[in-house]
Structure 1
Amino acid sequence: MQRRRAPRRDEEGLIPVLADITREVENAVRRPPVRPAVRTQFQVAALLVREERARVKADTALTPAKRDHELKRLDGVATLLAKIAARDTSLLALLAEDARVSDAAREYKASVMRAGGIEPPEEPERPAPVAPTQATDKRTEKRAEKRVVPQSVISRQMANPFLAPNFEAAAERAAKPRRLAGWELLEPLFRSFERDAPGAPACMDLPEPRHVPVPQGRDLMPHQARVVAATARGHRTFLLADEPGLGKTAQALLAAQAADAFPLLVVVPNVVKTNWAHEVGLWTPLRRATVVHGDGDRVDAFADVVIVNYEILDRHAGWLGDHGFRGMIVDEAHFIKNKTSQRSQNVLEISDRIRTRTARPLMMALTGTPLINDIEDFRAIWQFLGWIDDEKPLGKLMTSLEDTGLTPADPGFYSAARTSVVDMGIVRRRKVDVVADIPARRVADLPVELDDAAGRSIRASEEALTNRLVQRYRAAVEARMEGEVVDGVDHALARRVAAAELKDSSSKAKGENVFTMVRRIGQAKAGLAADYAAQLARNVGKVVFFAKHVDVMDQAEQTFADRGIRYASIRGDQTPKVREQNITAFTQDPDVEIVVCSLTAAGVGLNLQVASNLVLAELSWTDAEQTQAIDRIHRIGQSEPVTAWRIIAAQTIDATIAALIDSKSGLAARALDGASEEDVPSSTDVQLEALVTLLTDALTTDAA
């Protein structure tokens, strides 16, 4: 058996460690750009050479010959550092007396000293931070001035004055690198998704679906139940990147239920804020949701789920970070990909404060963006989830990388690193992966709230219309013959009143009526619908956008143009040649992401099955018209399940019309199949029923 050679004395101690690090830096600097971790290695090596030189000179226990020998060895390292700095002169700034030494550099310095057999001294108390420059100070003050604390939040704080932080997770987050100390790890982690992507899974192992209690009338698909089961087993961080249409919202809410992660903070784009509140009522009906608008004057701080949009997050970041949330969900998480943006900084600030106060909170990032493209975009998302910080992996991810026994210099590191990240909680399923779980065609409602001036005007007009109907009804009741009494609401009379209003509305009489109101709602929804279509196009590819009115189509197309999204247009005033050119552009040009279609001009006779997602920006008056639009992509040859996203203006007559269309869709199907002798519902039926509903709801409310 061959005996291992004992190390020579010159191979022991701090100097050989510094020499190895310096050679690593030299090799890295030859391949620009120089990464932050390499700059840290250079600075720490230079600092330790300087300190070791001073220590050697002051060590009276050394003989003159030994001292000269040690100083000569240090000079060799210093000379190499000088050559490195000559190659990249920006490194010289790190050697200045007033150069900042980051926390990461301090940690790395301590690990290098231990590797050289020296126990680092206790860290002195940090000096107070240097006062910011005047410009920075003004920005900070301006940001602080914008932040608000709603009165409801103050009331909750007074009712719960002992929301103490929980530091149980501190040790896990502070896991220190051992074997991988000194290695730059973040870049290899990101690159691992590019080098080992082909054929490699982008989804963590999920447990078999288990029974998940859901509200009556709700069904959970097997792929959704797997995420909830993983949460029930204790997993607490997820990058849920399922394609749109696979029910990420339901999975997130039921995961929060399984983890008891309430109160729960949900950060979303404005266009889906109202829909999240609606989904909370559907999937977790025992939990109360509140939506933050403006300065939060109407927020319910005692609610279980607090929903806030990115655009106003800066105003509320202060109290949200201290509210005691046990979970945080970020929807359309690719919105925070730019770490320098205010929205990204607000999200990261709040998530970090939640982790400081709460042990193992549920943190979920939801996005339909494929993981393989632009992997650098996920830097902020991984940081939100607590997997990394600005410079290194954290906690379980660092432990997993250490346990591989590999370094970035080893060929197998990238595959193992990718697996380590995926196992942290990446979940990516496509429609084709779970096609057996989901229906071939479905209509998904997306409620939006019209909280601007146009929305307020629409609600005022609807109130005026309702009052007019009530006055007509009461006038008719007063004109009845004596002795003709009906308990409660006279539904026959209500229908006659509604029919009279509909007749007046159908004439060319001036003023607000049900038709002008519905058109104004379509105009008010146009920007929100286009915004959602743009998100879909980014996430899943080609999207069909349907609208009834030209001005709604114009507004949508302007939105797409402003965002640099290429689109085609199909309208009634086009020549057959132009129409065919636009259809070909959408179906064959991969850069044309959206086709904007007129519901009347493109509702029949088109084959757009290259897309599997469709946005209905305006409601039809019949289910048949809506179905014809959906059938442009749900036809023979379509290989994926089809989802039609129906944009509905919440708290307006729009929601009433949607419910009426759905209630009559079954009747229409039975009639068309020959199973019913009833006539197929017409648009007049829905228009009349919408007015009847407005009137009877108002009369019932007055009676109560």
Structure 2
Amino acid sequence: MAQTRQRQRARSRDDDAPIIPILARKVREVEQKAQKNKLGPTNRTKFQVIALLMREERARVKADPEIGDATRVELLKRLDGIAQILAKTAARDTSLIALLEPDASVGQVAQRFRRDWLIESGAELSADELIITREPEPAAVLAENQVIPDSVRAFQLANPFRAPDFAAAPAPAVPVRRLANWELLGPLFKSFEQGAGGRAASMELPEAPEVDRFAPRGLELMPHQARFVEAARLGHRRFLLADEPGLGKTAQSVLAASVTGSYPLLAVVPNVVKMNWAREVERWTPHRRATVIHGDGDDLDAFADVVVVNYDVLDRHMAWLSTMGFRGMVVDEAHFIKNLSSQRSRNVLALAERIRSNAPGGDPLLLALTGTPLINDVDDFRAIWQFLGWITGDKPSPELLGRLEANGLTPAEHGFYAAARQTVIDLGIVRRRKVDVAADLPDKRIADLPVELDDDLGRSVRAAERELGHRLASRFRALVEARGLRVGDLDEDQRDQYVRAVAHAELEESKSAKSGENVFTMVRRIGQAKAGLAADYAAQLARSAGKVVFFAKHIDVMDQAEAAFAARELRTVSLRGDQTAVARQAAIDAFNTDPDVHVAVCSLTAAGVGVNLQAASNVVLAELSWTSAEQTQAIDRVHRIGQDEPVTAWRIIAAHTVDARIAELIDAKQGLAARALDGSDVEPGSADSVQLDALQHLLRAALDGAL
């Protein structure tokens, strides 16, 4: 009898707020997933909807005059319990906090959850609430600071008329029968949410050609890269290339443009990789020219084959970029455009629409590159699919709709989801992991990532180099004249002798100098200038590829990096020289075993030996060492017994500074060791230290007028 009365009280209490028991059940489901570190996109969306409905219900309970005071207190207490579970879950995964913001965007998946839960609670919904719609994305708005570089004006004058293109034919009408009245994007996203029994989301690619005719002389494509390029050569034009970092997406894109003749090509990329993009174009397609847009584009070559622009300056170049007649477009780190309401996304999608509409032949090469196409929710696919032309607003493109019709299924049938998933994949999704192509990869490789130091600190670095170079040149001339000689009369051997003598004297003075510009202070300043860019790239790797080890030489660079990671809500551990043995081991253990720790920020000198960090397979070298051995020791903290993936070390190198020369010198020293110890047939390098060689390089550059 008592149990019956208790059930009746519970029933009457829930009648006042029938949504609360549903929210309580859902929040427990999310909490359990978070405790098991399985908080995927679906449960992240549930977390957001729980918070949304909880706020709505709290406001309703407080304002409803028909609810008695005692009942109101009880209901608010239950809502507080749900709020506490949300808070604990967010404390476990801090990236959830952004979903609690009142202005956080609510995707269609979240809207469907809200509708379904309210219907389950017995709520009466309006017609508008029952139909899930999406507001049209705002169009790109030209920034007020639009610029047109002089070289673009020259290009436009040189090409006043464009030959008419009759190759593009209108797409045939798709007979819509089974799917005429179905909302399809939700089921399409759901088909990816459900997974496919362990099968990777990657289209079938042709076999790699037996003879590599894609790579230039001296370079060789790995088989997985060659298969992608071959698919483009055979006619596929739109890809979501979602390979993990370190598998050469940039090279694949450059060669895909080459074999399809997709020039001019526009590449929209993050700032940290735009110099690397230009270098990769020249490396893999040496017959093509690349130009990089810096700032207002004063040094732009509008006649180049490939135009590289970073997201941050894209807005001011929209007016002329849309008139260049691009035959292809690449969006690198395409997850940057996932927020359709951002100006960045609007700009990218507007350019893509213009290129799809106007490209000769009507079938441009469109490539979205990202190791992380999904950040929070399957709805993150939307912007990428729209860029590729697979969807238009809230509807599949005619091509995709036609393929779905050909499957003969509707969302009411269970088999629809697996078939729909494969249909989208076949449009051009390519996803390979390091472990999947391990046989293609070297077990350890070093990839250089040149960055442009175009801020005030970067300009001060170049000014310091000039100052040091000119000081060395003055000492050189004084030394030559003291010997009764003239600089112009020196032969090559004499010049080298005096250059080395001046550099040696400068190095000895620098070792004991308390102030002033020297090779050591200059390299430190370069490290400070690179710190933000290096941390930015490491954060991208951590989001897309998992744990990352970040090495720096100086404490202030480590401090800058840790602040940058904290701002991006990435948990870090630190390995420094002033730690106790206990604290050091605790940091190592946390990095290797705690899935919530993303980055190990390490000192090159303090963590370069005796440390096992094999939970990562990516290393970022924010600053260069003075010795190849120190660099190798750092990389081998990850590349060691227990590592089951190929290791990639990313060296962040300041372009157009002595930093690039130091990288070359380190490699030369490494080659010397390979010749002496491993029997490798490499040219012997200089026996001088890297510092001495770097000073000689600066002096020669100053004498030749290159500084």
Indicate whether the TM-score tops 0.5: yes
Q: Report the Cα distance in structure 2 between the residues aligned to 1:417 and 1:568, rounded to whole angstroms.
A: 43
Q: Report the Cα distance in structure 1 between the residues aligned to 2:706 and 2:662, rounded to whole angstroms.
A: 22
Q: TM-score, normalised by structure 1?
A: 0.78
Q: Report the Cα distance in structure 1 between the residues aligned to 2:603 and 2:238, rounded to whole angstroms.
A: 43
Question: Hey, what does 2:480 align to over in structure 1?
Answer: 477
Q: Report the Cα distance in structure 2 between the residues aligned to 1:368 and 1:35, rounded to whole angstroms.
A: 24
Higher mean C-alpha deviation, range 211-220 or range 153-162:
211-220
Q: Report the Cα distance in structure 1 between the residues aligned to 2:449 and 2:529, rounded to whole angstroms.
A: 15
Once the two structures are TM-superposed, the CA of residue 388 in structure 1 deviates from its matched residue by 0.5
Cα distance change, pair 482–512 in 1 and its aligned pair in 2 (3 A):
closer
**Contact 2:551/2:634 (8 A) holds in 1:** yes
Q: Is residue 2:479 matched to residue 1:441?
A: no
Correspondence for 1:505 among 507, 510, 513: 510
**Contact 1:586/1:593 (8 A) holds in 2:** yes
Structure ID, larger Rg: 1
**Contact 2:202/2:431 (8 A) holds in 1:** yes
Cα distance change, pair 598–93 in 1 and its aligned pair in 2 (3 A):
closer
**Contact 1:330/1:365 (8 A) holds in 2:** yes
* SS class of match (2:302): coil
Question: Hey, what does 1:690 align to over in structure 2?
Answer: 694
Q: Report the Cα distance in structure 2 between the residues aligned to 1:383 and 1:168, rounded to whole angstroms.
A: 24
* SS class of match (1:146): coil
Cα distance change, pair 284–482 in 1 and its aligned pair in 2 (3 A):
closer
CA deviation profile, 1:53-102 (whole Å, cap 9, x unmatched) = xxxxxxxxxxxxxxxxxxxxxxxxxxxxxxxx9841537999xxxxx999
Cα distance change, pair 102–525 in 1 and its aligned pair in 2 (3 A):
closer
**Contact 1:174/1:394 (8 A) holds in 2:** no
CA deviation profile, 1:447-483 (whole Å, cap 9, x unmatched) = 0110000001110110111111222222222222469
Q: Report the Cα distance in structure 2 between the residues aligned to 1:408 and 1:556, rounded to whole angstroms.
A: 48
Question: Hey, what does 1:275 align to over in structure 2?
Answer: 276
Amino acid at match of 1:473: F
**Contact 1:668/1:680 (8 A) holds in 2:** no
Once the two structures are TM-superposed, the CA of residue 507 in structure 1 deviates from its matched residue by 1.8
Once the two structures are TM-superposed, the CA of residue 197 in structure 1 deviates from its matched residue by 2.8
Question: Hey, what does 1:241 align to over in structure 2?
Answer: 242
Question: Hey, what does 1:155 align to over in structure 2?
Answer: 154
Size of the aligned set, in residue pairs, is: 586
Question: Hey, what does 1:629 align to over in structure 2?
Answer: 634
Amino acid at match of 1:388: I
Amino acid at match of 2:150: Q
Q: TM-score, normalised by structure 2?
A: 0.78
Question: Hey, what does 2:7 align to over in structure 1?
Answer: none
Cα distance change, pair 412–443 in 1 and its aligned pair in 2 (3 A):
same
Cα distance change, pair 178–323 in 1 and its aligned pair in 2 (3 A):
farther
Q: Report the Cα distance in structure 2 between the residues aligned to 1:483 and 1:687, rounded to whole angstroms.
A: 27
Q: Pairwise mapping of residues 347-496 of structure 1 onto structure 2 (< 5 A)?
A: 347-358=348-359, 359-369=362-372, 374-481=377-484, 485-488=489-492, 490-496=495-501
Q: Report the Cα distance in structure 2 between the residues aligned to 1:505 and 1:583, rounded to whole angstroms.
A: 36
Once the two structures are TM-superposed, the CA of residue 213 in structure 1 deviates from its matched residue by 3.0
Question: Where do 4+ consecutive residues of structure 1 move more than 6 Å?
Answer: 32-36, 91-94, 100-104, 678-682
Cα distance change, pair 601–176 in 1 and its aligned pair in 2 (3 A):
farther
Q: Report the Cα distance in structure 2 between the residues aligned to 1:522 and 1:180, rounded to whole angstroms.
A: 58
Q: Report the Cα distance in structure 1 between the residues aligned to 2:164 and 2:186, rounded to whole angstroms.
A: 33
Amino acid at match of 1:273: K
Question: Hey, what does 1:97 align to over in structure 2?
Answer: none
**Contact 1:203/1:422 (8 A) holds in 2:** yes
Q: Report the Cα distance in structure 1 between the residues aligned to 2:551 and 2:134, rounded to whole angstroms.
A: 57
Cα distance change, pair 523–408 in 1 and its aligned pair in 2 (3 A):
same
Correspondence for 1:601 among 601, 606, 613: 606
**Contact 1:534/1:560 (8 A) holds in 2:** yes
Cα distance change, pair 572–610 in 1 and its aligned pair in 2 (3 A):
same
Amino acid at match of 1:691: L
Q: Report the Cα distance in structure 2 between the residues aligned to 1:547 and 1:482, rounded to whole angstroms.
A: 44
**Contact 1:194/1:372 (8 A) holds in 2:** no
Provide the identity percentage.
63
Higher mean C-alpha deviation, range 570-579 or range 518-527:
570-579
Q: Any stretches of 5+ residues in structure 2 without a counterpart?
A: 1-52, 54-105, 113-122
* SS class of match (2:689): helix
Q: Pairwise mapping of residues 253-268 of structure 1 onto structure 2 (< 5 A)?
A: 253-268=254-269
Amino acid at match of 1:480: R
Q: Report the Cα distance in structure 2 between the residues aligned to 1:34 and 1:431, rounded to whole angstroms.
A: 32
Cα distance change, pair 173–295 in 1 and its aligned pair in 2 (3 A):
farther
**Contact 1:170/1:356 (8 A) holds in 2:** no
Q: Is residue 2:199 matched to residue 1:194?
A: no
RMSD of the TM alignment (CA)? 3.2
Q: Report the Cα distance in structure 2 between the residues aligned to 1:334 and 1:225, rounded to whole angstroms.
A: 25
Q: Report the Cα distance in structure 2 between the residues aligned to 1:331 and 1:636, rounded to whole angstroms.
A: 33
**Contact 1:173/1:394 (8 A) holds in 2:** no
* SS class of match (1:594): strand
Q: Any stretches of 5+ residues in structure 1 without a counterpart?
A: 1-31, 40-84, 95-99, 105-135
Question: Hey, what does 2:126 align to over in structure 1?
Answer: 88
Q: Report the Cα distance in structure 2 between the residues aligned to 1:184 and 1:377, rounded to whole angstroms.
A: 18
Q: Report the Cα distance in structure 1 between the residues aligned to 2:205 and 2:684, rounded to whole angstroms.
A: 49
Q: Is residue 2:508 matched to residue 1:518?
A: no
Once the two structures are TM-superposed, the CA of residue 278 in structure 1 deviates from its matched residue by 1.0
CA deviation profile, 1:339-363 (whole Å, cap 9, x unmatched) = 1111111100000001110110000
Q: Report the Cα distance in structure 2 between the residues aligned to 1:339 and 1:353, rounded to whole angstroms.
A: 17
Question: Hey, what does 2:42 align to over in structure 1?
Answer: none
Cα distance change, pair 241–164 in 1 and its aligned pair in 2 (3 A):
same
Higher mean C-alpha deviation, range 649-658 or range 153-162:
153-162
Question: Hey, what does 2:672 align to over in structure 1?
Answer: 667
* SS class of match (2:665): helix
Q: Report the Cα distance in structure 2 between the residues aligned to 1:103 and 1:571, rounded to whole angstroms.
A: 51
Q: Report the Cα distance in structure 2 between the residues aligned to 1:86 and 1:482, rounded to whole angstroms.
A: 98
Cα distance change, pair 168–392 in 1 and its aligned pair in 2 (3 A):
farther
Amino acid at match of 1:585: A
